[in-house]
């Protein structure tokens, strides 16, 4: 499975690089995050009994003029090939490949509310200081975090969420 995900990710990263489309990486990530958050969409795009053309039409309807042609083509390719369920992993891997090519590390940040540009800049600086090189942030707004942030860089998870702190307090009180 990992070889398949890596293969798709490497091919998509190569197309993004060749086309020089700076939006595609972020758009792919955002679409994959939306897919993870929406059970109905995930089911529709991953259902092997839904014809490939129908799955691709759903992608076209959702992304259409909103996304770059590279993003639309990449998502359509993955979904049409019956790998819709793998799209979040493929998007993550594309981000890692692209970050590594730039000499950066990919940092996935989950927060309850959108971050301002200044908050993003300060967070990127703090994380860069912690890991020793620049980071590319991918921010996911996730209300279940409640407050604070959860950051994943490679295999390292930094959980500064209110949800986790509340869970810790409950367990200590039990």
For residue 87, pLDDT beyond 90: yes
For residue 60, pLDDT beyond 90: yes
Specify the pTM. 0.82
More confident call, 154 vs 63: 63
Residues of the chain above pLDDT 90, percent? 67
Ranges of CATH 1.10.520.20 domains, the chain: 2-96
Q: Sorting pLDDT into bands at 50, 70 and 90, what band is 1?
A: low
Tell me the per-residue pLDDT of 108-135, one tens digit each, with 9 for 90 and over: 999 989 999 999 999 999 999 988 889 9
For residue 130, the model assigns a pLDDT of 87
Fold classified for 2-96: Peroxidase; domain 1 (1.10.520)
The DSSP result for the chain, as a single string, is -HHHHHHHHHHHHHHHHHHT-TTHHHHHHHHHHHHHH-HHHHHHHH-TTS-HHHHHHHHHHHHGGGS-HHHHHHHHHHHHTT-GGGHHHHHHHHHHHHHHHTT-EEEEEEESSPPPHHHHHHHHHHHHHHHTS-EEEEEEE-GGG-SSEEEEETTEEEE--HHHHHHHHHHHH-
């Amino acid at each position: 499975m990992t070889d398949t995900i890596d293969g798709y990710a490497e091919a998509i990263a190569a197309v993004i690089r060749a086309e020089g489309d700076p939006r595609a990486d972020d758009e792919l990530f955002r679409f994959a995050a939306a897919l993870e958050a929406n059970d109905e969409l995930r089911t529709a795009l991953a259902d092997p009994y839904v014809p490939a053309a129908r799955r691709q039409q759903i992608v076209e309807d959702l992304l259409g003029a909103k996304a770059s042609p590279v993003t639309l083509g990449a998502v359509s390719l993955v979904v049409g090939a019956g790998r819709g369920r793998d799209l979040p992993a493929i998007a993550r891997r594309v981000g890692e490949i692209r970050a590594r090519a730039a000499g950066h590390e990919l940092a996935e940040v989950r927060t309850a509310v959108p971050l301002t540009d200044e908050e993003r800049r300060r967070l990127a600086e703090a994380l860069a200081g912690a890991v020793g090189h620049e980071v590319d942030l991918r921010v996911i707004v996730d209300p279940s975090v409640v407050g604070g942030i959860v950051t994943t860089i490679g295999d390292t998870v930094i959980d500064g969420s209110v949800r986790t702190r509340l869970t810790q307090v409950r367990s200590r009180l039990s």
